[in-house]
Amino acid sequence: MKFFSGFCLANEQELFTPYLNQSDFTVAGFSYGAIKAFEYALTCNERIDTLQLFSPAFFGDKDAKFKKLQTLSFSKNSEAYTQNFMQNITYPSTFDMQPYFQQGSIEELNELLNYTWNEANLQALKKRGINIEVYVGENDTIINSLHVKDLFVPFASVYYFKRVGHILK
């Protein structure tokens, strides 16, 4: 299994153990890591049976003003920004994410805020026989889980968990 970490995180895959397919032919990613996992699956020539996307970063429903405010806030005080971000990814739980924290960069933030999930590429992975699974939480304060669900339903099995947030806890 190949796992891609989320923004400001490293080695958090153990948080998703109940859902992770531990096969050698699985690619998975959380949030920003879901983007990286998706891009990897698109270009990888090796066998992939399952692509698991946990709370995939999706900001296609946000305007340019929102995205600019996010990058300005990060640029002005990255420590305060990431502290607030870490609280938001755990909501509504009080799970301690500090063991997984790794400072992110403005380039990574810009990439995740401006990434466009290409439906033709999702369809191409589906036609290649890759089983796409998407996991989202009802109380996610980072992404709009209903918009994510709507985007991925035509291409993936979408698991929508009630009363959990971005880290599915």
Can you give the pLDDT at residue 121? 98
Residue 20: pLDDT band (50, 70, 90) is: very high
Helix 78-90 crosses helix 64-76 at what angle (to 10 degrees)? Answer: 120
Task: Record the tokens describing residue 142, joined without a space.
Answer: 């980072």
Q: Which CATH superfamily is domain 2-161 in?
A: Alpha/Beta hydrolase fold, catalytic domain (3.40.50.1820)
Residue 22: pLDDT band (50, 70, 90) is: very high
Can you give the pLDDT at residue 46? 95
Residue 152: pLDDT band (50, 70, 90) is: very high
pLDDT in tens, 92-149: 998 999 999 999 999 999 999 999 999 999 999 999 999 999 999 999 999 999 999 9
Can you give the pLDDT at residue 131? 98
pLDDT in tens, 54-102: 999 999 999 999 999 999 999 999 999 999 999 999 999 989 999 999 9
Is there a contact between 20 and 37 (Cβ–Cβ < 8 Å)?
A: no
pTM of this structure? 0.97
